[in-house]
Structure formats: C-alpha cells, structure tokens
Structure 1
Amino acid sequence: MVAPASRSAWPKENMRWWIMFRDVDRLTVTGDGTIDGNGEMWWKTSCRVDKKLKCTDAPMALLLSKCNNLTVENIQLLNSQQIHMSVEDCQDVLLKGITITAPGDSPNNDGIHIARTKDIQVLDCDIKTGDDCMSIETGTENLYASRISCGPGHGISIGSLGDDNSEAQVSNITVYKAHLSGTTNGVRMKSWQGGKGYAKDITFEDITMEDVHNPIIIDQNYCTSADPANPKPCKKQTSAVEFSNIQFKNIRGTSATEEAIKLDCSDTVPCHDILLQDVELTFRGHKHKHKHASATSVCNNVKLTESGSNVVPKTC
C-alpha cells in the first residue's frame, strides 16, 4: 500500500493519520506486505528540516486506537510521513516481527509510539528511523519489549512526559535484549519541568550499544522547541514527574560520546532507587577511532541504590 505522492491528496481536516483502526476488538493485522508512507515529500516541508517553514501536521502511517486483544504481526512499514505506527488507548496487545525502515535524517517519524495502553508485548522488531525507535508515553502500563534492533534513530525512549504541566503515569516497563547501533541516544527517559505524576518500576536489561551517543540517559530537564526557528529556553519550574525504581542491568558496548551515562534529575523531585548493575561502556571517539578510551558519567540530583559489580564508567 503506497500513500499518495501529493500533499493536496490529503483533506485539510484530516492531516493526522493515513490508515486507522479504531474500536475494533480481537483485530489481527498481518501479512507479508508493506505500508509505504511515501514520506519524502512531507519531510522536505518539515520545519525540522527547513527552519524557515511553518510547523504543520503530517500523517502517521498506521494508527491503532481503542482496540483490545490486538495483534500486529510480520508487517513492514516504510518511509512514513511522520510516526510510523501509534498504539493508543488499547489493551492486551501483541506487536511481533515488525520491520520499520526510514532514513536516519527523516524528521519526527518515531517507529512504534505507545500511549495510554495496558498489557502490551513488543517482540522481534527491527526499526531504522529518524526519531525514537520506540517512544513510550504516558498511560503505558505493563509493557514487555524484547529482541528489539534499533538504528539509525533516537533510541528507545520513555517520554517525553509532563509537557505543558501535564500529569504522567508510566509503570512496569521492561526492555529486555535490545541492540542499538549508531543511534543518537541509547535507553532514555525524558520529562519536562512543570509536569507531575510518575514513571516507576522500569528495567532496561541485556542491551548492547554500538557507537551510540548518550547510551544511558535520564533527563528531567528535557526542553525542545515547538518552533525550531525560534528556540526558547524552558523556564525553571519546581514540579516534576517523579522517576523511581529504574534499573539498568547488563548494558555493554561503545559510546560515541565521552559522556556515556547522564543522569540529570530535578532539583526538587530527585530520581530515586536508580540501579546500575554490570554496565560496561567505553568511549570510541574520533581521536580514538581504533582505541577504546575512558568514558565519563554525569549525575545531578540522583539517589542511586547500591550499584552492582563492574559499573564502567563509575557513577556518582
């Protein structure tokens, strides 16, 4: 299935999605076919690519909304206009064997986006894209993701949470066995100042990194501009989404930045019960193309539980 090549084919009142399933219980979407968003024309006119342009909506290729007992298996998504696949307000979901492919510089087109969804498994997915390979948003509860391959892309992200002073609720998330290659982040949690709520009981385990910028990052001071042409600094706020019981276990590989671990938490709502165990990240920068050099870590307002043996680089 190939999306129309011209923007004028899209009705103005519906620029947000292309293919949508809503309110369908026991739905299975499967097959060997490809959903091709034909996104290049949309990317060229994105304000993230050309900062002189006004920011406008673009369609997501596949939206699954309010579907219970949902299975999506073995399909391919290619060059989406924006988000490739979004699962919203669903329960009891299996996503398996999904392949997502787009260039690393294609803007704002997450691979799999999940929001307000409970009891979800994501298995054996290969994601190459220009934004988050997986973005896990507020309202996600009981998610198990395993054997995820990511790169290019922005990594596997929880968030961003708490934007526009909103309340976030994310709990019981496990990412087990993932390989990230050449991504701009590895495993990441990000929230805005001014939000409230929580992200808790989260485990990232058995993850390999290959030339990944920011392999492990918690950022409670996330700030990005809706209009890239006029970036505005985010003002200091005291409330924050609380991050707790977060485990990073058996994470190994190479960092493309010297700062391999960054835990930047809120002054007023510090991250707590953060565990790093069996982490080994080495810096392989341009100066050290063939040598592994020492990586560093940065910690602000973090309460670590006892880290396990062998945490490299050493943390706060």
Structure 2
Amino acid sequence: MSSNPGFRSFLLLSFLLLLSIVAEVQARGKIFNVVAYGARGDGRTNNTKAFCNAWYHACQSTKPNMVFIPFGIFLVGPIVLSGPCKGPINFFLHGDLVAPTDQASSSIDHWISFQYIDRLTINGGGTFDGQGASAWPNNTCRTLPISVRLDFVTNSEIHHVTSLNSKNFHFNIYACKNIIIHNIHIVAPGDSPNTDGIHLAESNDIQILNSVIGTGDDCISIGPGSKNINVSSIQCGPGHGISIGSLGFTPNEDNVYGVHVTNCSMTNTMNGVRIKTWAKPYRSTVSHITFDHINLNSVANPIIIDQQYCPSKRCKPGASGVKITKVKFSNIQGTAATQMAVTLNCSASNPCQKIEMRDINIGYYGVGGAASSCCSNAYGACYGQQHPPSCLR
C-alpha cells in the first residue's frame, strides 16, 4: 500500500463512505450482491447472467435497493439493465467491470445499457474497463460498442466511477432528463478513435460537473435536441475539447438551446470550445450558448465555429442550414498551439448572429507572429480585452 498520507486518507474516506451507504441501504432496502447470484470476480468468468438476475430482483422491489459489485474483476456483457423499476436503484460498482473482446460482442452498439429507469444511481469508486485497444484498429470497419448507455433515464446520478479505454463513446446519454454526472474520471489515449467522453442527445436538464476527462475525441459532445445543459469544472485533455455538435447531418434534428460551459480547462487538446455543423441544408437552431471562464494550455483551435465540418474531407461543398445565434465567449484565456486562435467559419446561407466576444486573451508564441482570428459570415459585438483582435462584423 502507498505510504502517501493523502492516499491512505482517501482510502479510509472511501471505505467509510462505502460502509455508510451500505448501512443506509440495509436500513431502507436490500442489497443484491452479484456474487450471491453466481458472479465470480476472477476476470475470466462471464457474469452476464448473474448480473441480469441480481438486477431483475432489485428492480422488482419498491424499496431503494442496491445491486452491489464487490471488489474484484468481473467480465460482463453486452448487457441491458432495463426498467421500469418499482423503486430507486443503486448500481454500486466497487470492483472493476471488464468488457469482452470477441468480435461478436464488439459488433453490438452497447456494452452496458441502462434503459427506462427513474432514480438510478451509478457510483462506488470502481471502473468500467472497455478494453478498447482490442477493437480500435477496426473502428473504420464497423460501429463499436459504447461503454455505458443511458436511454430514457430520469432523475438520476452518476458519480465516483472511472471509465477506461472505451471501444467507442465512454458514456452516451440519450432521451434522458434531470441527470447529474459529477466526480468521474474518463481515460483513453489521445489517439484512440471516436472515444468521446460524454455524448448527449435529445436530453434536457443535464449537469456535468467536477470531472477529469482525457480521451481521443471530444471530452464532451452535445448533440441534437440537447436543452438546458450545464458543464462546469471539467479538466479536459487530451482530446478534442468541448463541442456542440456535430449538427445538421440529418433532416428534422431538434434544436440545441441553453448550453452553459463554465470554469473548464483544456490542456493539449485539438480544440477548446467548439460548435460544429455539417455543410448540409437541413435546418435547426443553436441558441443561448455560453462559454465562460475557460483556461487554455497549448490548444490547437481555442475558439472555433465550423459550419463546414467534414472529418473525412470527402463532403460535397455547400452551406449549412443550421442557424447559430446568441453565443457568448467570455473570459477565455491561455495559450494556443497554432497561430489561428479564433476561427468563426459560419454559414453563407445562415450567418451567425449575436455572437459576443468578451475579455478574450489567447497568446501564441510560435513562428509566424502573434495569435490571429478569422471570421466568415459572423456578426456580433466584442467587449473588453480582445487578443487576438476581434474579426466580428
């Protein structure tokens, strides 16, 4: 065991927290230990059936029950843990879950999926290990599993867990409402493909707080239909930054409204804060967006709106039908890894309107001169310090 006093204190606090939570559940409900259903934490036994059985029995009780995964390494999945449940349910991951690596399992769109549940809690200090290195070479050939999916989940919380080396996205939040995600750790190499940390779509009233995310794609990506999203105190890097989008790829996408990203830091990321849309005619709106108090450390594209998004570079030229309006970039400071610190490349048919730049201070210290900005079809106003000089019309 480490001789570090802080580490010993953390272990003690974690143990005391575990005891208090277990005691509370015992007083109010029941603990369903997966080991009692035949699970073995040896890293080899397939425990999918045991997990399903433990979940089923916990889900049938009206009390706030716990599915308990003790210390150990549990091979499980792909698995769907579905509701509705009769009462609140706590998926308490104290040990580590590892994903299968066979080709059949890697062809399914999920590893662990929670569906149609109200008052779900996922916590416990353990790890979801997606074993992504086994599948990343095949990323261009097929869709790979998302590590943890939440579909149609409400009034729920995820905290104090780690997601390691997902094959695809780490967490996918779809059609959910009133979800709080905080104090989580997401880890994958900077060159791992498509390993977004947290992806949202068609969800509202979502909070993502006080977490550390380092991955190979967007630390957080906010997709169509996202409304009232609060992102705060996120440490991002490596990765592609915090992005709204990509949007406008298909017809009839829902609007994005009310996204607030505050007090976040980006270190050695491809992008800082970004809005990205495809150059397609499909119409939707992005509005009431705030990026505030963002710290940058060697970020390639610190502030970027890209309405010609095309990662494959094989897209047909065109103008995006997505309307971007009422976006605030304020108190953004730090260093850029490239000279172009601010890029606002908006749609020719749907120019960006009511863009606000306030107190921007981004330095570049490489060859070619000071940091610069570039705008196309972008209209708005600037206030306070502007470094590089604003290019808004």
SS at match of 2:135: helix
Residues 202, 254 of structure 2: 8 Å contact kept: no
1:2 pairs with 2:83 = no
Quote the residue 2:74 is aligned against. none
Quote the residue 1:199 is aligned against. 286
Larger helix share, 1 or 2: 2
Quote the residue 1:235 is aligned against. 317
Q: Deviations over 1:73-119 (max 9, x none)?
A: 11100000100001110001100101000000000110000111111
Residues 116, 139 of structure 1: 8 Å contact kept: yes
- d(CA) in 1 for partners of 2:142, 2:111: 16
Quote the residue 2:373 is aligned against. 297
Aligned-pair CA distance for 1:232: 1.8
Match of 2:267 among 161, 177, 181: 181
SS at match of 1:215: strand
Quote the residue 1:102 is aligned against. 188
- d(CA) in 2 for partners of 1:190, 1:104: 20
Match of 2:385 among 291, 305, 310: 310
Q: CA RMSD in A?
A: 1.4
Quote the residue 2:178 is aligned against. 92
Quote the residue 1:52 is aligned against. none
Aligned-pair CA distance for 1:168: 3.9
- d(CA) in 1 for partners of 2:282, 2:374: 23
Aligned-pair CA distance for 1:224: 2.6
Q: Deviations over 1:272-300 (max 9, x none)?
A: 00000000001133x49xxxx51010000
Quote the residue 1:25 is aligned against. 118
SS at match of 1:186: strand
Match of 2:347 among 266, 290, 305: 266
The residue type equivalent to 1:278 in the other structure is D
The residue type equivalent to 2:226 in the other structure is T
Aligned-pair CA distance for 1:166: 4.3
After superposition, where does 1:138-153 map in structure 2 within 5 Å? 138-153=224-239
- d(CA) in 2 for partners of 1:138, 1:149: 24
The residue type equivalent to 1:3 in the other structure is A
Q: Deviations over 1:160-218 (max 9, x none)?
A: 00003443410011001000000000000001122211000000000000000110000
Match of 1:223 among 302, 310, 325: 310
- d(CA) in 2 for partners of 1:312, 1:300: 18
- d(CA) in 2 for partners of 1:212, 1:314: 18
The higher radius of gyration belongs to: 2
Aligned-pair CA distance for 1:6: 2.6
Q: Which runs of 5+ in 2 are unaligned?
A: 1-96
Larger RCO (alpha carbons 8 Å, 6+ apart): 1
Residues 106, 135 of structure 2: 8 Å contact kept: no
Quote the residue 1:51 is aligned against. none
- d(CA) in 1 for partners of 2:214, 2:103: 24
- d(CA) in 2 for partners of 1:88, 1:45: 25
Aligned-pair CA distance for 1:245: 0.4
Match of 2:361 among 275, 280, 292: 280
Residues 213, 257 of structure 1: 8 Å contact kept: yes
The residue type equivalent to 1:205 in the other structure is D
Residues 260, 295 of structure 1: 8 Å contact kept: yes
The residue type equivalent to 1:172 in the other structure is G
Aligned-pair CA distance for 1:221: 1.4
In structure 2, the CA distance between the partners of 1:199 and 1:275, relative to structure 1 (3 Å rule), is same
Match of 2:276 among 166, 175, 190: 190
Aligned-pair CA distance for 1:235: 2.7
- d(CA) in 2 for partners of 1:267, 1:113: 28
Quote the residue 2:8 is aligned against. none
TM-score of the superposed pair, with normalisation by structure 1: 0.90
The residue type equivalent to 2:204 in the other structure is K
SS at match of 2:255: strand
Q: Which runs of 5+ in 1 are unaligned?
A: 48-54, 226-230
Q: Deviations over 1:113-161 (max 9, x none)?
A: 0111111111101000000000000111001111000000000000000
Aligned-pair CA distance for 1:11: 7.4
- d(CA) in 1 for partners of 2:198, 2:253: 22
Quote the residue 2:128 is aligned against. 35
Once the two structures are aligned, what percentage of the paired residues are identical? 40
Aligned-pair CA distance for 1:7: 2.3
- d(CA) in 1 for partners of 2:338, 2:106: 44
Match of 2:300 among 208, 213, 217: 213
The residue type equivalent to 1:242 in the other structure is K
